[in-house]
Amino acid sequence: MANGYWQMYREKLRTPEEAVKVVKDGDWVDYGFFNGKPVTLDKALAARKDELKNVVVIMAVTLPPIPEVAVKDPQGETFTIIDMHFSPITRAMQQMRPNVFYNPLLFGEGEFYYEKKAIYPYKVGHHKNYKDVLFLRTGPMDENGYFNYGIHNAITHVQIKTTPIVVLEVNNNIPKALGGAREQVHITEVNYIVESENEPLAELSPVEPSEVEKKIASHICAYLRDGDCIQLGIGGMPNALGKMICDTDLKNLGGNTEMLVDSFIDLVESGKMNGLNKEFERGKVVYSFALGTKRLYEWIDNNTALASHGVEYVNHPLNISKIKNLVSINQCLEVDLYGQVNAESIGFKQISGTGGMWDFVTAAYWSEGGRSFICLPSTRTDKHGNTHSRIVPYFEPGTIVTCPRTMVHFIVTEYGAVCLKGDSTWKKAEKLISIAHPDFRDDLIKAAEKQKIWRRTNKIN
């Protein structure tokens, strides 16, 4: 049958210009998430700007290069862009053109959103199940007729299942990510195939942790135990934590993380993270997508220590809360004295998105023996060189609450880690002030008193 698959491949093969002809006026076009974002097809679609009208393009965590549908349509006359998790590229697009919007998403529910069509509320009654075309970048077809998603499993399976027209853009640089589940699509399930110029995959350069991030990591490290199953995010602090763990006596750690980052390489190769205590996918690090360096992508290729899964399996609290000793480690922008967490906006300016933070914060606390840590440096410096506290009396107008105060477990700065779960408002305020930068503690005390959530006579023993 192998020869039959290659015959089918040739029959479905199109030039980029031919393939994008499937897009019609008013269509909603899904782009693959992360490095699944098409590059060749995006260029060809952008070239049709003057032929089309009212086309919506949906993406998530938009990576370089900047999509041509934005570059070639600077006034937003033809293409409206929706991103389900803002990235630096999305923020740049929003600055350069109108019609760039955020679609809030609980990542663990991402597959449900597509299956239930909740993500397309504006098109009730539309004739093609609310969306029309999927452009997805994959690895090359294997001898059994399968195209592997590589480092962007996420919700790809459901995108394919719920979209009438599926066009694959083949890129030979995409590593083969082993399952897991839902990590590949068969040629019989796609309509057309386009061969790309095999552009390099977008990478995230290694972030050297600052001294502040190292201190934050050291506070978290003190709470880790043998056999913990760890979720790590991106940035200097997770990298620092990964390196610190390698220098400890911790053993038999597991990994269950929506985003696989470079720090997992050292954890696995050092033998610290072997997954032997996990109830699910014993011996494997489970993940839904990966972003990092070329070293990470090469490590993923055909690696039997890893399991790529759809995001419902990796993230949804009802599933992962069954993992014992699940430890969730995420970062945020600021925390107010009520214990609310903002991880996605500066006032009205969208910076990031909810993503899977809510999923893992919830699941880690529900997990037997689990812990959830939300981390942030105690201060930030603005463009004028002024220093501001990241622990604030209250959020400015427009600021988004990513995690409500009722669900927050641990908050960590370079000055310590405090557990807020179950505390009264004055206990939360006092604990948060104790890990704020010393230069701002007096002002925070005055603010807490003014807001009637704390008094100097209240002391925690």
Please report the pLDDT score of residue 149 as a whole number.
Answer: 97
Please say whether the dihedral angle defined by the alpha carbons of residues 143, 197, 307 and 319, taken in this order, is positive or negative: negative
Helices (H) and strands (E) in the chain, counts: 16, 24
CATH superfamily entry for domain 2-195: Glutaconate Coenzyme A-transferase (3.40.1080.10)
211-450: what CATH class?
alpha beta
Query: Contact 147/187 with Cβ under 8 angstroms?
Result: yes
| pLDDT value, residue 457 | 62
Residue 127: the pLDDT is 43
Residue 435, classed as helix, strand or coil, is coil
Question: Mapping DSSP to helix (H, G, I), strand (E, B) and coil, where does residue 272 land?
Answer: coil
Low-confidence ranges of the chain (pLDDT < 50): 118-119, 121-129, 460-461
pLDDT digits (tens, 9 = 90+) for 392-414: 999 999 999 999 999 999 999 99
Catalytic: 258? yes
Q: What is the β-pairing status of strands 326-331 and 229-232?
A: parallel
List of E strands, 281-395: 285-290, 306-308, 326-331, 334-336, 341-342, 345-346, 349-350, 371-375, 379-381, 387-389, 391-392
d(CA 327, CA 363): 9
Angle, CA 16 vertex, CA 13 and CA 19 arms, to 5°: 65
CB 186 within 8 A of CB 8: no
Can you tell me the distance from the alpha carbon of 327 to that of 232, in angstroms, rounded to the nearest whole number?
9
What token pair was written down for 32? 């693959």
Residue with tokens 């260029």: 43
Q: Quick check: do 2-195 and 211-450 share a fold? A: yes
Catalytic residue among 109, 111, 213, 258: 258
Q: Structure tokens of 15? A: 């030039």
Q: Exposure of 242 by Cβ count < 10 A (0-12 exposed, 13-18 middle, 19+ buried)?
A: buried
For residue 57, the cross-strand partners are 29, 81
Quickly tell me which residue has 């459901």 as its tokens.
158
CA 308 to chain centre: 15
Q: What is the dihedral of CA 388, 389, 395, 396, to 10 degrees?
A: -10
What is the C-alpha to C-alpha distance for residues 114 and 103, in angstroms, rounded to an integer? 13
pLDDT of residue 201: 98
pTM, two decimals, is 0.93
Domain ranges of the chain: 2-195, 211-450
